[in-house]
Amino acid sequence: MNLLIKGGHILDPSQGLDAIGDLYIVEGKITWVEPLKEKRPLGKFAVIPASGLLVCPGFVDLHCHLRQPGYEDKETIASGTRAAAKGGFTTLCCMPNTKPPVDSQAVVEYVQRTAHTEGVVRVYPIGCISKGLKGEELAEMGELAAAGVMAYSDDGQPVTSSRLMRHALEYSLAFGRPIIDHCEDKALSADGAMNEGWVATRLGLKGIPAAAEEAIVARDIALAELTGACLHIAHVSTAGSVDLLRRAKDKGLAVTAEVTPHHLTLTEERVMGFSTQTAHHTASALWYDTNAKVNPPLRSEKDRQALLEALKDDTIDAIATDHAPHTIVDKLCEFDAAAFGISGLETALGCLLSLVHSGQLDLKLLISKLTWEPVRILEIKKASLFPTSPLPWGLGTLQMGAPGDVTIFDPSKEWVVNPNTFASKGKNTPWAGCQLKGQVMATVVAGNLAYRDDSLRLEGQSA
C-alpha cells in the first residue's frame, strides 16, 4: 500500500529540510516531499495523520547485539528487530559476538536469511576481525566482505595484539570496510565492574580506569595513521578518548567514532540506583543496580559533558545504541557476576530527547547523528577498493527515490518505561520506571509499517 504521511514536521538533516508538509511513499520509495515543487503523485494512499509529529529518515544503528545464533534466550533477530522498529530504527548493524561468531560466510548468510524471513527492519551483519573472536588469527576478511558484512569488529572484546590490529587495518583497506574497535586494555580493566572512582570505592567494587579505554584508542589511532585505513571507535566513554579523537581528526585521519545514549545521559552514580539526569530513584543509594553495569562503564559527569561537546563539534560522528540484551538471570546476581550491557533500542529516542528538552542538545543535530551521520561512516567505504557495499543508496535520508524508511515520533508524549512491555527479550534497562518525553508513533521500512503505536489511526485516501 502506498503511504501518505500528512502534515508532519519533516526534518531531514541530509538535505537541510525542516518544514511542515506531506511525505509520499510510492512502491516503497520516497516519491514526493512537500514543499518540493514536483508533481504530486496520484492514486490510493493509506494516510498517516502526522500533524504535531516529527517525520524524519529512519534511524540507523551502527552497533547492536541481536544474539542470534546461539543466545536466543537473550534476544532473537525477530524480537530484536521488533524492538528496533518500536524504537524508530529502520536499519541495524549487528555485532558478531554470537555463538558461533560471525566469522564465516555460512554464519553471515544465516543472519541475512533469518533477518529476511523473521526481521521487520533492515539488518546488516558485522563480521569478526579474528577467527572465533579469539584475537589470535585474522578471520577470512575477504570471504566476509564477499558475503556482505558492513564492517569488521571483535566487539565485546578488544583486539589485544597490536600486530593483529595492524594487519586487520591493512586488509580492511582492500575490502573497503571499516574496522570497529572495542577499546579496552584488558590488563588495566581486569575484573573491573564499573568506572574507577568514588562510587566504586563506596560500593567496594573494582573499578575500570579511563586509561583502559584511552590506551587502546591511542594505539588504534597510531595504527590508523600507519596504515591509512578507516577506523571506527565504538562506544566512546571518556574525556581522554575525546581529546585523542579530536587530535586524530585535526590530522585528517580516517577515524570516526560513536557514543551511546546511556553514556550521554547517565553517570556512574546510576550504579547506586539513581541518576543525575532523571532524578529518578529506583533503589536505595546503599544498593547497586546491575542494569547500569555496562562496558565501557558509565563514567563521571566531566566525561559525560565531554561526550556531549564532542557530539556537537563532530569529534563524535554518530550515536549508536550498543543494544545489549541479557536475561533476568544474567543480571539478577552479584554486581561482579552480572553481565555487561543495556537493552537500549526502545529507550534510545526518549532518553536522547531528554537532552533536547533540557537544552543540552539541538534536535536537528540529534536526528542527524541518528540518521545521516551513521550512514556517512559506512558510505566513505563505498569509494574504496571493494566497490560492492551491501548498503543500498539512500538510507538515512528522505531524498527523492530513497528507500521509504521513515520514523514518525511525538516529541512531547510522555511515557513511563516498563521493561515488561519491551518487544526486546532483554528487560535490562536502567530506565525502568522513569518517565521519558518523546515516543515513536510509527516506523516505516521500505514503505511498510514495521511499527505503529496503538493510538495512531490510519486513514485511507485517494489523492
Among 31, 91, 295, 354, binds ligand DOR (CB under 6 A): 295
Stretch (H or E) spanning 452: strand 448-452
Backbone angles phi, psi at 210, to 5 degrees: -55, -35
Nearer to ligand DOR, 185 or 322 (CB): 322
**Is 294 a binder of ligand DOR (CB under 6 A)?**
yes
Site for ligand DOR contains 324 (CB under 6 A): yes
With respect to ligand DOR, which residue has the nearer C-beta, 345 or 450? 345
Which CB, 14 or 321, lies closer to ligand DOR? 321
DSSP 237-249: --HHHHHHHHHHH
* Closest to 444 measured CA to CA, from 411, 404, 403: 404
User: Smaller CB distance to ligand DOR: residue 58 or 156?
Assistant: 156
Here's the x/- map for ligand DOR, 235-264, by CB under 6 A: it reads as ------------------------------
- Residue linked to cell 565501557: 296
Residue in 21, 119, 156, 209 binding ligand DOR, rule: CB under 6 A: 156
Q: What is the DSSP letter of 291?
A: G
Question: Per CB under 6 A, does 369 bind ligand DOR?
Answer: no
**Using rule CB under 6 A, residue 119 touches ligand DOR:** no
The 178-217 contact track toward ligand DOR, x by CB under 6 A, reads ----x-----------------------------------
Q: Minimum Å distance from CB 221 to ligand DOR?
A: 19
Give the interface size with ligand DOR as a residue count (CB under 6 A): 11
Smallest gap from Cβ 180 to ligand DOR, in A, equals 11
Is 322 noted as a catalytic residue in this protein?
A: yes
By the 8 A CB rule, do 11 and 5 touch?
Answer: no
DSSP 339: P
Query: Quick one: DSSP state of residue 40?
Result: P
Eight-state DSSP code of residue 346: T
Q: What is the dihedral of CA 374, 107, 446, 18, to 10 degrees?
A: -10
Among 326, 322, 193, 202, CA closest to 262: 322
Q: Closer CB to ligand DOR, residue 35 or residue 70? A: 70
Residue 363 beta carbon to ligand DOR: minimum distance, rounded to whole angstroms: 28
In this structure, are residues 352 and 368 in contact, taking their beta carbons and an 8 Å threshold?
A: no
Q: Does 2 bind ligand DOR (CB under 6 A)?
A: no
Residue 95 vs 141, nearer CB to ligand DOR: 95
* Distance from C-alpha of 316 to C-alpha of 298, rounded to nearest angstrom: 17
Minimal distance, residue 322 CB to ligand DOR, in Å:
6
> Site for ligand DOR (CB under 6 A): which residue of 15, 340, 400, 448?
340
Q: How far is the CB of 71 from ligand DOR (least distance, A)?
A: 9
Question: From CA 82, how far away is CA 86, in angstroms rounded?
Answer: 6
- Counting contacts by CB under 6 A, is residue 407 touching ligand DOR? no
CB of 408 to ligand DOR, least distance (A): 30
Q: Residue from 13, 341, 394, 426 that binds ligand DOR (CB under 6 A)?
A: 341
Q: How far is the CB of 85 from ligand DOR (least distance, A)?
A: 21
CA distance linking residue 456 with residue 459, whole number of Å: 10
Q: Which of residues 54-113 bind ligand DOR (CB under 6 A)?
A: 65, 97
- Pick the closer one to ligand DOR by CB: 2 or 295: 295
Q: Under the phi-then-psi rule, with left for phi > 0, alpha for psi from -120 to 50, and beta for the rest, what region is 293? A: beta
Q: How far is the CB of 341 from ligand DOR (least distance, A)?
A: 3
* 211 in Cβ contact with 238 (< 8 Å): no
- In order, the DSSP letters of 182-215 are ----HHHHTT--EESSHHHHHHT--EE-HHHHHH
Alpha-carbon gap, residue 303 to 215, rounded angstroms: 16
Alpha helices of 96-237 — where are they, by DSSP H?
Answer: 105-118, 141-147, 162-175, 186-189, 198-203, 210-227
d(CA 42, CA 311) in angstroms, rounded, equals: 42
**What's the min distance (Å) between Cβ of 330 and ligand DOR?**
9
- 291 lies in the site for ligand DOR, by CB under 6 A: no
- Per CB under 6 A, 353 contacts ligand DOR: no
State the Cα–Cα distance between residues 16 and 37, nearest whole angstrom.
16
- Residue 428 is given by DSSP the state -
Check: CB of residue 242 under 8 Å from CB of residue 191. Answer: no
Residue with Cβ nearer ligand DOR (61 or 155): 155
Which is catalytic among the residues 317, 322, 405, 410? 322
**Does 268 help bind ligand DOR (rule: CB under 6 A)?**
no
Neighbouring C-beta atoms of residue 338, cutoff 10 Å? 21
CB closer to ligand DOR, 265 vs 397: 265
Give me the residues that bind ligand DOR (CB under 6 A), please.
65, 97, 155-156, 182, 294-295, 322, 324, 340-341
Q: Which residues are catalytic?
A: 322
